[in-house]
Amino acid sequence: MLLAERLALLLLDPESGSVESRSSWTPQALFAAALLGDLILADRLHARSSAWEVDSVLPLAHPLLAQLLQVLGAGPIPATRALARARRGLPRLRVRLLDALARRDLVHRVPRLALVPRLGHRYPLRSQQAHAEVLDDLRQAAANGRDAGDYAQLVLADAAGLLRDWPAELHGEAYAALSKLDDGTAASLDPVLASLSLMRQALLDSPR
């Protein structure tokens, strides 16, 4: 499951089927950041000082990630600019991600107004198990995990405001992990973590 799809499940109100951010970032921006994280985990964005080198030599199978590579273009791109391009260049991410989850029977797809599908859809949660597993993975990332995927989940959860209401111990563990990305430099971090550090900095520095 993509980081962006995991985030969609975490931001989803299970009953209303609406997606809401708990921070000043919009869901569109958060999903764009999550897809950048997916590219990092796919080894397609490499940290070079304050920019990413984009590896687009080979195609990607996932259509959203393939489209994002095209949006980013060739050559080094500062992380803040990459985030801005992803937000603008990949429209309707909420709908596209939730439609993908609906096709896998993880959420329902219900017209907002019966018989008038042009008014859009709601996506109430269908699979409680999927939601529970994604939430448990995030908590495990804070408590025990330390691989790149764990750091990516924590960066996105923090940007979305999902860590605020956690118990004090787990909250502290999450921010202790994130401090490695905050305090590290590209020279001192693993290459993938260096790229995630740029993503975190872009989320902290970019205008909402």
Question: How sure is the predictor about 59, in pLDDT bands with cuts at 50, 70 and 90?
Answer: confident
Question: How sure is the predictor about 118, in pLDDT bands with cuts at 50, 70 and 90?
Answer: low
Write the pLDDT tens digit of every residue in 1-12: 999 999 999 999
Is the model's pLDDT at 85 over the cut of 90? yes
Domains plus CATH for the chain? 3-205 (1.10.3630.10)
Higher pLDDT, 124 or 117: 124
Residue 144: per-residue pLDDT: 86
Residue 145: per-residue pLDDT: 76
Is the model's pLDDT at 82 over the cut of 80? yes
User: Rounded distance, CA 9 to CA 21, Å?
Assistant: 12
Residue 182: per-residue pLDDT: 85
Q: Report residue 122: phi and psi, to 5°.
A: -105, 160
User: Which range is least confidently modeled, 8-17, 26-35, 140-149?
Assistant: 140-149
Write the pLDDT tens digit of every residue in 184-201: 555 578 899 999 999 999
Mean pLDDT, the chain, integer: 92
Long-range contact pairs involving 105-111 (C-beta distance under 8 Å, separation at least 24) = 106/9, 106/130, 107/9, 107/12, 107/17, 108/17, 110/17
Bridge partners of 111, per DSSP, are: 121
Q: What percent of the chain has pLDDT over 70?
A: 95
